[in-house]
Structure 1
Amino acid sequence: MKKIIFVISIMLSVAAMANPNAYDKTTDHKKIGWMDKGMEQVKAKLKDPESAQFSGVYFHRGADGVPMTCGKVNAKNSFGGYSGSERFFSAGKPHLTFLESQVDGFPGLWSKFCQ
């Protein structure tokens, strides 16, 4: 019995880590769809999109009511190692998707669109 419980707990832990949909607690399908779109745009900006690990992803209406996907992503760099989590936000289009390491003045933009 202990062995079964151990195996189940390991499986749940792995499933939780592999879940790319690290959303807030929303059940609103429109918001979840928007967050999916935002995460896909973030992946497109990464060197290794398949390695993306999202956390703390949430939907937010930023400045002027613009819908945004906000959160953190960790992905492999050019050397094949994870570089550490960084914040991102996306309005669902490539030219409206920003990663903290790729944009000067990111903290001000984050405040405007994700807080």
Structure 2
Amino acid sequence: MTIALRLLATVVFIGSFFFLVREPISLVWVVGITLILISYSNKMVPEASPILVILLCVISLFWVNSMSPLWGDGYEEKLNRAQIIDAANKEDMQQREFVSKAQYAVKGNLKDPSSAVFSSDYFYSSNGNTFACGNVNAKNSFGAMTGNKRYVSDGTSTGSYVDDGGAGFEEVWKLRCRN
């Protein structure tokens, strides 16, 4: 009976260890108390030490589950939150990649593309069309910085426009860059 209990206590301890890693402080006290119980096992009733180790592991698992859900509704909510965060991060990354592509396209329409400094960039999507909008400051033909000029881009150089002060750009801005 004692050997079976000790074997069961060992299996429970090793299995619990896998889950207790989620809350490292629990490992400290579970391992510490288990070592104390093992060292004093010769002074106790032979069955007491394995039973106390099993009880300690079970209590620790419930404590860890309250902090970082391992099972139940809390675990399902945790998984749902993780999926929502992953989807938002993926969407954000796609938007950043599109804005970067649009900046590259806008640079193709500038006199000195290497001098371009972008600011206030954002992503806009409407009716299945996507646009990047923002400001660009770049050198003109005389080598002077022009100051921030608004830009609109669909990610291609033919669909990229920099504000030249004309009324045509204002219409494009209103249609494609509602912020």
Number of residues of Structure 1 aligned to a counterpart in Structure 2: 89
Structure 1: where are the runs of 5+ without partners?
1-25
Aligned-residue RMSD, C-alpha: 1.7
Partner of 1:12: none
Residues in 2 aligned to 1:33 and 1:78: alpha-carbon distance in whole angstroms: 30
Question: Residues 18-52 of structure 1, C-alpha deviation per residue, up to 9 Å, x if partnerless?
Answer: xxxxxxxx951100000000000011111111100
CA distance in 1: counterparts of 2:150 and 2:115, whole angstroms: 16
Deviation beyond 3 Å, 4+ runs, structure 1? none
Aligned residue in 1 for 2:124: 60
Give the SS at the match of 2:106: helix
Give the 3-state SS of the residue equivalent to 1:106 in structure 2: helix
SS of 1:95's equivalent in the other structure is coil
Structure 1 or 2: more helix by fraction: 2
Gaps of 5+ in 2: 1-87
Structure 1 residue 65 displacement after superposition: 3.1
Match of 1:33 among 82, 93, 97: 97
TM-score where L is the length of structure 2? 0.47
Which of the pair has more CA radius of gyration? 2
Q: Alignment partner for residue 107 of structure 2, among 36, 40, 43? A: 43
The answer to which structure, 1 or 2, has the higher relative contact order (CA under 8 A, 6+ apart) is 1
Q: What is the TM-score with the length of structure 1 in the denominator?
A: 0.71
Greater strand share, structure number? 1
Identity %: 37
